[in-house]
Amino acid sequence: MNNTLSKGKEIKIPGPDHPITISPVEGKVRVTVAGRIVAESARTLRLEEKGYPPVYYLPRSDADMSLLGRTTHYTYCPYKGDCSYYSIPIGGSRSENAVWTYEQPHEAVSGIRDHLAFYPSRVDAIVVIS
């Protein structure tokens, strides 16, 4: 495994011991909060990472960014990179930090750049419409 340090942070490359796959989703994926469509896209990506449930990443351009508020919350994933968060104010406190995004993801997962992911427990629904 190729582990290097960048800006003091460990970067890990997905491999047999920690696979990450990104594939297009057939059909549309719709995310709703408080009766509003927050995002809907026919260009959604499904990221599968060992040890985690699959995650849908919707293009930022297919989200109603006016419904999102950027937060100061921040995390780092050695496989994906620096992660920023948004809240969805119309969802109340339940929807705080409900959305995450990797604005400069590591090369191995560069396909999720300019995409948003949503915590299923912090929105009303994430549905696939075939």
Pick the CATH number of 4-129 from 2.170.150.40, 3.10.20.30, 2.60.40.3500, 3.30.465.10: 2.170.150.40
Give the dihedral of Cα atoms 79, 48, 61, 121; nearest 10 deg.
-100
Q: How far apart are CA 86 and CA 116, in angstroms?
A: 9
Note the pLDDT tens digit of each residue in 57-101. Answer: 999 999 999 999 999 999 999 999 999 999 999 999 999 999 999
**Is a pLDDT exceeding 50 seen at residue 53?**
yes
Q: Is 122 helix (H, G, I), strand (E, B) or coil?
A: helix
Extents of the domains making up the chain: 4-129
Q: Quick one: pLDDT at residue 87? A: 98
Provide the whole-model pTM.
0.92
Closest CA relative to residue 116, chosen from 22, 31, 35, 9: 31
